[in-house]
Chains A and B, each alone.
Chain A
Amino acid sequence: MQTVQRRTLPLRLPRVRPGGVLPILAILAVLVVLVGIRQPDFLAPPSLMSFLGRSAPIILLAAGQYFVIVSGEFDLSVGSLVTAQVVVAARLIDGDPTRTWPVVLLLLAFGALVGLVNGLITTRLRVPSFITTLGMFLILVGAVYLWSDGAPKGGLSEEFRRFGRRAFEDVPVLGRVPYALLVLVVLAVAAVLLMRSDFGRTLVAVGDNPRTAELSGVRVWRTRTFAFILSGLAAAVAAILLGGYSGVSFQAGAGLEFGAITAVVLGGVALGGGRGAVVGAMLGALTLELLFALMNFYGVSGALRSTVQGAIILLAVAVSASRSSSR
C-alpha cells in the first residue's frame, strides 16, 4: 500500500527524463574532448577501435548487471564468476585447440547455471540478492582456489585467445576491428532489442513495482531469474574475452562486480529497479573506461585511480539524485 502511494508521488523533472541517457552522453562527450586535447592520436580509428575492443568485457558485464538491477536486484557474483570461468577454461583446455569450442559452450552453460541458481535462491527462497550473490561470490572464489590447489593450471589455446586479442585486419576506414568489438556490437544490439521486447517491458515493470506486476499477471520470479541468467551469460562472454586479452589469473575478475554496478549507476539506472536504459548502462561502462584512459594520459598514478573513480561516482550520482529529488 504505502509503496504504491510513494511511487505515485509526482517526480516532476525540469528537462531530463529520469533514467535517460542524456547526462551520461554529456559526460562522455566532455571526456572525449579532454582526451582529444591531450592525446589527439587516441581518437584516430586504430587506437579507438582497440580501446573499444578492450572495453568490451566491462561493457557486457554492465549490460548483464543492468538486467538484474533494473528488475530490482543486485548481482555481486559476476567478478568471481569471471575469475572462475577463466581459471576453469585454462585448466580444461590445457593448450589443446580441439577443446576450444566445447569449453566455450561449457562456459556459457556454467554462466547460465550460476545465474539460474542465484535467481532461484533469490526469488524462490526469498533471500535478498545482496546476500545470495555475496554467498555465491564466496563459494565461487573458494571453489576455484580449491579446485586448482591455489595456483591456476593449464593454459588457454590460441584459438580460445583469439576472441579477446585478434582482429579483422585491413578493414576500410577503420583499419583494425577487434573480434571483441564485433561481439560487443552484436550483443549490444541484442540487448537493446531485448529491452524493447515484451520481456524488457516486463523486466522494468517488475523492478518498478513487483506487486503491481504480480497483480497484472507477471510471474515476477521467472522474470527476475531470467535477468540473473542473462547476467551470468554476460559474465561468461566477458570471461572469454578477458581471458583471451589478459590471460589467466585469480585476479582476472577481481572487483569487476563493483565496476559494473558503478557503470550501471553512472548510466542513469536507479538502484532498486524500474528506471534506466540498457544503453545508458553500457555508455556508463564506456565512460568509466575512458576516464581511466584519460587518467593514464595525464599521468595519474595507478594507485590514485580508485580515488578518482570514487569521486566521479559520488559526483555524478549526487548531481542526478539531487535533480530527481527536487520536488
Chain B
Amino acid sequence: MSALSLLPARRPVPGVFVALTLALAIGWLVVLLDGGQLFNQSTTVSLLHVAAGLGLVAVGQTLVILGGSLDLSVAYVISLSTLVAAETMNGSDGAILPAIGLALAVSAGIGLFNGLLVTKLRVNAFIATLGVGLLLKGYLDNGYDGPAGTTAPSLVQSLGYQRVGPVPVSFLLLVAVTAAVWFALTRTRFGHHLVAVGGDPEVARLSGVRNDRVLVTAHVLCSMCAGLAGIYLASRLGSGAPRVGTEGLYDLESIAAVVIGGTALAGGRGGVIGTVGGVLLLASIDAIFNQLEVDAFFKQVIRGAIIIAAVAVYARRAMRKAAA
C-alpha cells in the first residue's frame, strides 16, 4: 500500500488529457460550423495567458492537496503579491529583482504561517487558510481602494506580453515551474514523503517521515507559486490590483483544476501534470465559449457542471477499480 503510493511517477497519463483533446476537437468543430476559427493566433495566445495565471496557482495548490492539506488563501496572496511587486518597482526597471524577491518572500512568509497553523497548532487546513485569507482581505480592503503602484515597463513587455511564436513567455514560465515541481514530486525525497503524508499521515510518521516539516514546505511552495502568479498578473495589468485574486476566483478554480486533473482531494494520489491538463481544459472551455460569444453567466453555469461531471467520472473509475 505505502510502497505503491511512494511511486507516483509510475502512474499512467491522467484521463484529463483525453477530455482536453475531446473538448478541443468538439470545440474546433463547433466553432468552425459557427464560421470562426478556434486555433488562430489571438485565441491561442489568450488561452495560454489564461492558463499561465491559473496554472501557476494550481501547480502550487497541487502540492498542498497531495499532502492532504488545502489552501484557500491563495486568492489574497495573489492580490497582495501584485501590490508588493508593483509598489516596490514603482515603474523603475532597476527595482525588478528586489520587487520580485520581496513579493516571493512575503508570499513564502504567508505560506510558512499557513503551514505552521496546520501542523503545529493542528488547525484544520480549510479553517486555517480561510482565516489567513480573511486576515489578508482585511488588510487589502483597509489599505487599498483601487490599483496601486506601477509595474516596471520592461517586466510588462517581457513577462506580461512577450511571446515566442504563439506561446507567451508566461506560459513558458508555467512549463518551467511545472517541470520543477514534477521533478520534486517524482524524483526527490521531499516528493515521496509528501505523497506518503497525504496518503496516510500516521503510517508516514511511523515510517520516519517528518510530517510537519514536509507539509510546511508544501505550504511555503504553494504560496510562492501564488506569489509568482501575482507577479505575472502585475506585469499583465501594469499595476498592483487589490481584488484581482478574488475576482478571478483563483482559490476555488485552482482547487477545481487540481481535482479535475485527477489529484484526490483527500491527498496522497495524483500529480502536477494532470493539474496542468485540468488548467488547460478550463482555459480551453473558456476560449471556445468566447469564440462562440456565449453569455458570460451561461459560461459559468457550464463551468460548474463540467467541474462536477469531471470529478464524477473519476469517482466512477476509482469505484470500478476498487471493485475489480
Enumerate chain A interface residues (CB-CB to B < 8 A). Answer: 2, 6, 74, 121, 125-128, 130-132, 134-139, 141-143, 145-146, 150, 258, 261-262, 265, 270-272, 301, 303-311, 313-314, 317-318, 321-322, 325
Contact = CB atoms under 8 A, between A and B. Distances in A.
B13 interface: no
Contacts of A146: 295, 297-298, 301
Given A301-B142, A307-B137, A139 B203 contact: no
Interface of B: 117, 121-124, 126-128, 130-139, 141-142, 200, 202-203, 252, 255-256, 259, 265-266, 295, 297-305, 307-308, 311-312, 315-316, 318-319
A62 B122 CA distance: 23
B131 A310 contact: yes
Given A131-B308, A139-B301, A2 B200 contact: yes
Contacts of A141: 297, 300
13 contacts: A125-B316, A131-B307, A139-B304, A142-B297, A145-B297, A301-B142, A303-B141, A307-B134, A310-B136, A310-B138, A311-B135, A314-B128, A317-B124
Contacts of A138: 300-301, 303-304, 307
A262 B72 CA distance: 13
Nearest to B141: A303
A262 B305 contact: no
B223 to A, nearest CB: 16
A132 B259 CA distance: 11
A36 B298 CA distance: 50
B123 A318 contact: yes
Cβ-closest 9 pairs across A and B: A307-B138, A310-B134, A142-B300, A138-B304, A126-B315, A139-B304, A303-B141, A135-B308, A142-B301
Given A138-B307, A261-B126, A310-B138, 13 more contacts: A6-B202, A131-B311, A134-B256, A134-B304, A136-B304, A141-B300, A142-B299, A146-B301, A301-B142, A306-B141, A309-B138, A318-B122, A325-B122
B219 to A, nearest CB: 15
B128 A272 contact: no
Main secondary structure of the interface of A (DSSP, over half): helix
A321 B124 contact: yes
Contacts of A145: 297, 300
Contacts of A136: 304, 308
A321 B124 CA distance: 8
A310 B132 contact: yes
Given A265-B127, A301-B142, A307 B304 contact: no
Given A128-B259, A128-B265, A265 B124 contact: yes
A322 B122 contact: yes
A74 B265 CA distance: 13
A310 B255 CA distance: 21
A97 to B, nearest CB: 30
A120 to B, nearest CB: 11
Given A142-B297, A307-B137, A313-B131, A125 B312 contact: yes
Contacts of B123: 314, 317-318, 321
Given A307-B142, A313-B131, A314-B123, A121 B303 contact: no
B312 A126 contact: yes
B255 A130 contact: yes
Contacts of B301: 138-139, 142-143, 146
Contacts of B305: 135, 139
Nearest to A265: B127
A2 B318 CA distance: 19
B259 A142 contact: no
A289 B121 CA distance: 26
Contacts of B312: 121, 125-127
A125 B136 CA distance: 36
